Chains A and B, each alone.
Chain A
Amino acid sequence: MNVELSELVRRFGRTQAVAGVSLRAGPGVFGLLGPNGAGKTSLLRMMATVLAPSSGHMELLGRDPGEHAQRREIRRRLGYLPQNLGYYPGFTVTEFVEYFALLKDMPPGQVPRAVATAVERVGLGDRRRSKLKSLSGGMLRRVGIAQAIVNDPELLLLDEPTAGLDPEQRMGFRALLREMGERATVMVSTHLVEDVGAACTEVALMNQGSVVFYGTPGELTARGEGSGAAGDAPLERGYSAVLAEARS
């Protein structure tokens, strides 16, 4: 298992953002669904080792992120796209991706090919020399995805990766996710149900810090059948049905 979470809790003052989440995930694309404030981002930040849990146990890629040397090993094999990706306006696309490839401790000899591969995979080859300040929001998101995949991570954490992407780019991105999920554990936080249906092999639905559903997209769809829950698509109706049940 690449991800093993046990009773993970994260508090911010009196607010409990993550309330005892337990999860196990191996290779595949894992969707984290839920309304705003459900705790998805806090959970991903803990897995990205930028936020420590208040309590509970976490093992990533078979290592303990609480221990310095093991955390560094995890970070070498990690790809992370934060919800709000800051960028350096004066950097070009390749400079930005290369910068983070080096900070991920990649061997310098492998960096140029890895950068070229990542930039091509997100379809920004023709904009490689463009300064980041000249790119659109969707292109910046793709630059963020490129830096996340540049080290061919074993654990890829993406927080709202499709925000700002047009439909064609989203389809291309889902194909990329499926490809990455063949070897790595890909965790995608989103509130776009159609992304989950198209790309994810498993899905967890979070509400108020807790996982209220865990299963396949098909199983989530089945929960909405005959429930009379709101939604334009079967998966959306499943999502609504589970949330309504959790809130009742």
Chain B
Amino acid sequence: MNEVNVPPDVDLGRVWTGVAARVWCRTPGRAERLATRLLRSPGLARALVVTPSLLLGWVIATCVVLIAGIAATRGTGTPWVALLDPALAAAGIAYAYGPGIDPAWELSQSMAVSDRMVLLARALAVFGLNAGLGLIASTVSGTAAAVTFGWLVPMTAVCALALAAATLARSANVGVAAGMAGWAITVLAGRVAAGTVNVVVTPQFLVLPYLAFAACCGALVLYATRIPGGAR
């Protein structure tokens, strides 16, 4: 083997690290670049694009359920999209982030990009995606506009409940169960009271109570994600 004479002022280790940095460097995808521009934080953007409930498989599954909802709505006249989407969003948000979902939660808590910011960004992104998909599906299914927009408020409350339960119990599954149960009780109670599910998803008089409930759940999330034993 030929020997290579290395000049004494050349640090081969440093050269190799430079080469490795170039070769190993990961190119951020389009979504991550967009998120970096919007959030002005590469760390937050990276945390956002690896959200479990924003991964391609999860989004495809959501779309499949909503397509089935469109078909059912057209076939039966019942606003299935409006009934399904809040439950889907609640499940997505429960699986977005938190002590029970992130295996490296303890480590994440010691990071400069705070775990609360990651939680907020992820929850808003999951909510926005599900709201957008739900609105499109609701429009395609030919549901009345009042119904289409009427379920966004209860969806907010259900998502907040799922997030609060997931962070307090440190378990995404508990969050999903709480969200689903809360939504099922709401829908069934409305049906018993009014005889139709349409009334349940467009209750004008319940807007404020729903928002107040969501705010209380938000406060619980803040409590559950505080630094134990001290104020943030």
Contacts and interface: CB of A to CB of B under 8 A. Distances in A.
B104 A52 contact: no
B41 to A, nearest CB: 8
A104 B107 CA distance: 11
Interface in B72-123: 102-114, 118
A59 B231 CA distance: 16
A180 B105 CA distance: 26
Interface string A61-96: 000001010001001101010101111110000110
B21 A87 contact: no
A45 B47 CA distance: 23
Given A116-B17, A125-B20, A100 B229 contact: no
A42 B38 CA distance: 37
Given A10-B229, A52-B229, A120-B17, A103 B108 contact: yes
Contacts of B109: 49-50
Given A86-B103, A103-B112, A51 B229 contact: yes
A105 interface: yes
Interface residues of A, number: 45
A59 B202 CA distance: 54
A75 B110 contact: yes
B16 interface: yes
Nearest to B55: A90
Interface stretch (A21-29, A107-115, A170-178, A214-222): A107-115
Given A94-B24, A105-B113, A87 B43 contact: no
A113 B21 contact: yes
B188 interface: no
Contact of A76 (B17, B103, B107, B112): B112
A100 B106 CA distance: 12
Contacts of B20: 116, 119-120, 125
Nearest to A151: B112
Contacts of B230: 52-53, 66
A100 B26 contact: no
A201 interface: no
A49 B17 contact: no
A52 B110 contact: no
B46 interface: yes
Contacts of B25: 112
A99 B229 contact: no
Contacts of A104: 43, 111-113
Interface residues of B, number: 36
B107 A80 contact: yes
B146 interface: no
Interface string B32-69: 00000000011100110010000000000000000000
B21 A80 contact: no
A98 B46 CA distance: 10
B103 A88 contact: yes
Contact of B112 (A45, A75, A99): A75
A128 interface: yes
A94 B26 contact: yes
A50 B110 CA distance: 6
A54 B231 CA distance: 11
Interface string B8-40: 000001001110111011100000000000000
Contact of B26 (A49, A95, A120, A147): A95
B145 interface: no
Given A49-B227, A51-B229, A66-B230, A86 B107 contact: yes
Interface of A: 10-11, 45, 48-54, 66, 68, 72, 75-76, 78, 80, 82, 84-89, 94-95, 98-100, 102-105, 108, 111-113, 115-117, 119-120, 125, 128, 147
Interface of B: 13, 16-18, 20-22, 24-26, 41-43, 46-47, 50, 102-114, 118, 227-232
Given A51-B228, A53-B229, 19 more contacts: A49-B227, A50-B110, A50-B227, A51-B229, A52-B229, A68-B232, A76-B112, A80-B107, A86-B102, A102-B42, A102-B43, A103-B112, A103-B113, A104-B43, A104-B111, A104-B112, A104-B113, A108-B42, A115-B21
